Chains A and B, each alone.
Chain A
Amino acid sequence: MNKTILIIEDEPALRKILSDLLQKNSFSILEAKDGKEGVTIALEKHPDLILLDLLMPVMNGMEALKKIRQDVWGEKVPVIILTNLSATDEKLVQDMVTERPLYYLIKSDWNINDVVKKVKEVLV
């Protein structure tokens, strides 16, 4: 059975590129356009991995991650943060350490194929 990845990303273009490429690599994809929708889908569908943006409308990525981590299933789900937000803020670092994503990847440093490689490292 294909592993399922939830992409929580407010940029439709990036969401589509990620979705297409991951589907080509035999993953099933769920999509959410903001943190709130992401939490709902995550807790309902229990994906195998979450790709999470931080800066999003309605509910930001870190808030969404905190809510997911409160769930018994969500406590251990692997999360890769994909963001352009620099980790130079003390509170963000503290949250990151508390919520333990696997990776904190800066979008501008990572091309999509490398992100897919990281996903495969985690799931395959």
Chain B
Amino acid sequence: MKKLIFSICLLVFIIPPTVFAQDSTSTSLSVKIAPGELLPVSVKLSNFGGGNKVDVTITYGITSDKNIEIYKTSDTVAVETTNNFVKTIQIPFNTSPGIYTEKTSIAYQGQAAPATSEFKFNVERKIFGVFQSQFLLYGGITLLISILMVFIGYWIVKNRTTRFTPIDYSNIPKHERVFYELISDTILGMRQKVGDRALDVVSQVEGITLDENTGRVVKLTRTPSKIIAELVAGYEKILGEKVSFSFREPR
């Protein structure tokens, strides 16, 4: 009889149900699954008994870390040489989050030694299709990025300098500064309304030197109030309307 040398080799793998890496030794806790999802278990049976077909009963069980069995089922398959298949186990919907052990064992007639294989896995609930722990992690990262974006946006807007940004004249002596600011802001306001035609008016007013690139008032060589009055008159001619002003807060 070949019965004595007959044996069944059981190899059980889990197929990762998620995108996370899984060690084929089936002991890694990186496998996460949510209640109600399917846990795929890859079973490989090899019969070294010389070609005799043997009916093998495979029992699958899931127990919690407190050794409470939450699932148990069994199948019978015939094995002549090898038999490989994937068994899917649905994790009960009411399963509490925690660490569980899937234990697979086989039984067949004339079995000389028990054959079992087991692996641990993690059950975790999902929020909007994402595992709870990942949801908190990704949610936190998203929140941080959003806050960062808001701050960066605010900083960019605050520090943006365009040709319509009021020019700083803090280097000009205080008693003259107000004229520089008023002339500069008036030209700026006009550029917003009539574009670079505003600069044509400036070029017709004597006693004012502008930096062509920045629009900065470089020098005033006539009475500033006279320059302002002439600028306003020039702009009123272009616009066909009177000109309003705003003054900067005194520093």
Interface set of A (CB-CB < 8 Å, partner B): 84, 86-94, 96-97, 100-106, 108-110
* B241–A93 touching, CB < 8 Å: no
* A93–B229 touching, CB < 8 Å: yes
Taken together as a complex, chains A and B put the C-alpha atoms of A92 and B236 apart, in Å, by 16
Q: With A97-B178, A97-B179, A97-B182 as given contacts, are A90 and B225 in contact (CB-CB < 8 Å)?
A: yes
Q: Which chain B residues numbered 205 to 238 have a C-beta less than 8 Å away from chain A? A: 223-226, 228-230, 232-233, 236
Taken together as a complex, chains A and B put the C-alpha atoms of A100 and B17 apart, in Å, by 74
Provide the residues of chain A in CB contact with B179, threshold 8 Å: 97
A and B contact pairs by CB, cutoff 8 A, 7 listed: A87-B228, A87-B232, A90-B223, A96-B245, A103-B244, A103-B246, A104-B246
* A87–B229 touching, CB < 8 Å: yes
> By the criterion of a CB under 8 Å from any partner CB, how many residues of chain B are at the interface?
21
- The answer to the question of B136 belonging to the interface, with a C-beta cut-off of 8 Å to chain A, is no
Provide the residues of chain B in CB contact with A88, threshold 8 Å: 229-230, 232-233, 236
Q: Which of A86, A89, A93, A106 has the most CB of B within 10 A?
A: A93
Q: Which of B182, B226, B245, B247 has the most CB of A within 10 A?
A: B245
- The answer to the question of B242 belonging to the interface, with a C-beta cut-off of 8 Å to chain A, is yes
Provide the residues of chain B in CB contact with A94, threshold 8 Å: 225
Q: Which chain B residues numbered 169 to 194 have a C-beta less than 8 Å away from chain A? A: 178-179, 182
Chain A, Cβ-Cβ closest to B179: A97
- The answer to the question of B129 belonging to the interface, with a C-beta cut-off of 8 Å to chain A, is no
**Least distance between A54 CB and chain B CB atoms (Å):** 12
Instruction: Tell which of B182, B244, B247 touches A106, judged by Cβ atoms closer than 8 Å.
Output: B244
